[in-house]
Amino acid sequence: MRLAVTGATGFVGGAVCRAATAAGWEVTAFGRRAAADGRHLGGAAYRPWDIGAAKLADPPDVDAVVHCAASATGTGVADEVWRTNLLGTHHVLASFPDCRIVHVSSAGVYDPFRPTVRAKEHEGPVSRYLDAYAAAKAAAERLVLAVGDRPVVLRPHAVYGPGDTTLLPRLLENVRAGRLPVPGTGRVLVSMTAVDALARACLLAATGTAAGVFNIADSEPVPIGWALRGLLASAGVPARPLYVPAALVTPVARVFPRGRVNRYVISQFAMERTLDITAAIDRLGYEPEPTTFPPRRLKV
Ligand SMILES: NC(=O)c1ccc[n+]([C@@H]2O[C@H](COP(=O)([O-])OP(=O)(O)OC[C@H]3O[C@@H](n4cnc5c(N)ncnc54)[C@H](OP(=O)(O)O)[C@@H]3O)[C@@H](O)[C@H]2O)c1
């Protein structure tokens, strides 16, 4: 199996590269930076490519592409987010017109204004979002499904595990004096996605015959407070969540839309965000495992 992976220098793309090379696949890894650590890529060959700039002049001959590259922080400048996440996806599709595309999207395409309760794939995308990241991911999904060759769209939520560049670092940035302020009660349920499980799902999608959209998450949702304590403990950080009622912080978020506790943060922490993963189990052969947080090293 010959695979190309975009976003290979990142958290998810690196895990996909390592899983694919461990399976004996021939992998070409793409990232934006000039050079990459071979261990992060599982020894895959590396090529720099800014996907927002242009399509590849000389794409490798591959059977499938796992497209992980994105401006993924959620705090990126809107122009850059759209350039990478939508125009970049167009360039990926144009570079590899005749091979299977596995597009790593996000459960962020579900309605941010309402709880996501065991969402099925047809419930997203929606027509309005709180940030450019979700809107651009939704637009990219539509593009992939319209023009991709047997395309697969995967929607993980809250990806965690070794080398996390997004979720855990963002939590740690907000810890003050041993407390992590969090809107809500900590009791709402959330679907988490282990990065290794997501990587396995990407390989299943690359080799399988099923096309379409699939939620990817661990076997059962967990209370968000339990997940936050587990993430903090796994990082060795002696901090605890401090819950602030959503009704108190929502008016503040309206006045300071770019503040730390903005409407997006409230929508993520104070509302249920759970996914139905039946389609991935039945049609991709995905085997989910329970959410666990063994001690992990932070990426440096
Ligand atoms: N992490 C999560 O919780 C989560 C949840 C749901 C969905 N996702 C999705 O999973 C995918 C991977 O996210 P991640 O967490 O692995 O993010 P990440 O660690 O920030 O990695 C992003 C990757 O995209 C590359 N990239 C960014 N801009 C690029 C550009 N203009 N041209 C080429 N490459 C570019 C980066 O390359 P350089 O580092 O070399 O610049 C890096 O390899 C994204 O599509 C994201 O939307 C993530």
User: 121 C-alpha vs ligand 1 centroid, how far in Å?
Assistant: 22
Q: Please work out whether the CB of residue 270 comes within 6 Å of at least one atom of ligand 1.
A: no
Q: Which atom of ligand 1 is nearest to the CA of 108?
A: 6
Question: Tens digit of pLDDT for each residue in 32-78?
Answer: 999 999 999 999 999 999 999 999 999 999 999 999 999 986 666 89
Q: pTM of the prediction? A: 0.96
Q: Domains of the chain, with CATH numbers?
A: 2-284 (3.40.50.720)
User: 136 C-alpha vs ligand 1 centroid, how far in Å?
Assistant: 13
Using CA atoms, how far apart are residues 180 and 170, in angstroms rounded to an integer? 11
| Residue in 6, 11, 193 to alter for ligand 1 test, most ligand atoms within 8 A of Cβ | 11
Specify the pLDDT at position 11: 98
Q: Please work out whether the CB of residue 72 comes within 6 Å of at least one atom of ligand 1.
A: yes
Q: Please work out whether the CB of residue 198 comes within 6 Å of at least one atom of ligand 1.
A: no
Using CA atoms, how far apart are residues 16 and 163, in angstroms rounded to an integer? 13
Q: Which atom of ligand 1 is nearest to the CA of 167?
A: 3
User: 73 C-alpha vs ligand 1 centroid, how far in Å?
Assistant: 8
User: 7 C-alpha vs ligand 1 centroid, how far in Å?
Assistant: 5
CB 246 within 8 A of CB 183: yes
User: 245 C-alpha vs ligand 1 centroid, how far in Å?
Assistant: 32
Give whole-number Cα distances, 200 to 14, 85, 151, in Å: 12, 23, 17
Instruction: Report the amino acid identity of residue 29.
Output: A
Q: Please work out whether the CB of residue 124 comes within 6 Å of at least one atom of ligand 1.
A: no
Q: Which two tokens stand for residue 132?
A: 């450019």
List residues bridging with 28 in a β-sheet. Answer: 4, 45
Specify the pLDDT at position 172: 94
Number of CB atoms found within 10 A of residue 233's CB: 15
User: 11 C-alpha vs ligand 1 centroid, how far in Å?
Assistant: 7
Q: Please work out whether the CB of residue 9 comes within 6 Å of at least one atom of ligand 1.
A: yes
Cα-flanking dihedrals φ and ψ of residue 108, to 5°? -65, -10
Instruction: Report the amino acid identity of residue 283.
Output: R
Q: For the sheet containing 189-190, what is the strand order? A: 116-119, 273-275, 189-190, 222-223
CA-nearest residue for atom 6, ligand 1, is 106
> In sequence order, what are the residues at sequence separation of 6 or more whose Cβ sits closer than 8 angstroms to the Cβ of residue 190?
157, 158, 221, 222, 223, 224, 227, 272, 273, 274
Sites in the chain below the pLDDT cut of 50: 298-300
Q: Please work out whether the CB of residue 63 comes within 6 Å of at least one atom of ligand 1.
A: no
